Amino acid sequence: MKTIIVTGSNTGIGKEAARILAADGHRVLMLSRDSDKSRRAADEIRAATGNDEVRLFPVDLAEKSSIRAVVDRLRAEFSAIDVLVNNAGVYRTKRGVSGDGIELTFAVNYLATFMLSELLLDRLRAARAGRIVNVISALYTDGVIDFDNLMLEQGYKAGRAYANAKLATALYTVELAQRVEQDGVTVNALHPGVLATDVFREYPDALMWAAKLFLEKPAAGGERIARLAVADDVAGVTGAYVYKEEVREFEIPAATRQKTEQLLQVSRALTGL
Give mean pLDDT, residues 260-273.
98
If we measure between CA atoms, which residue out of 11, 5, 85 comes closest to residue 53? 5
* Strand 83-86 relative to strand 131-135, pairing: parallel
If we measure between CA atoms, which residue out of 44, 14, 53, 12 comes closest to residue 31? 14
Q: What angle do CA 190, 192, 193 make, to 5 degrees?
A: 135
What are φ and ψ of residue 154, in 5° steps? Answer: -115, 130
* Strand 54-58 relative to strand 186-191, pairing: unpaired
| 98, pLDDT greater than 60 | yes
* Structural contact between residues 104 and 90, judged by C-beta atoms closer than 8 angstroms: yes
pLDDT-derived band of residue 165, with 50, 70 and 90 as boundaries?
A: very high
> Considering the chain, what percentage of its residues have pLDDT values greater than 90?
89
pLDDT tens, position by position, 210-244: 455 455 677 899 999 999 999 999 999 999 999 99
pTM: 0.92
Higher per-residue pLDDT: 102 or 217? 102
What's the CA gap between 100 and 63, in Å, rounded? 7
Give mean pLDDT, residues 178-184.
96
Q: In what order do the strands lie in the sheet with 3-7?
A: 54-58, 27-32, 3-7, 83-86, 131-135, 186-191, 241-243, 246-248
What is the DSSP code string of 24-83?
Answer: TT-EEEEEE-SSHHHHHHHHHHHHHH--S-EEEEE--TT-HHHHHHHHHHHHHH-S--SE
pLDDT the model gives residue 264: 98
Helix (H, G, I), strand (E, B) or coil at 216: strand
pLDDT the model gives residue 218: 79
List residues with catalytic annotation: 162
pLDDT the model gives residue 193: 84
Burial of residue 269 (number of CB atoms within 10 Å: 0-12, 13-18, 19+):
exposed
* Strand 241-243 relative to strand 246-248, pairing: antiparallel
pLDDT the model gives residue 49: 98
Query: Taking all residues of the chain, what is their mean pLDDT, rounded to a whole number?
Result: 93
pLDDT the model gives residue 208: 47
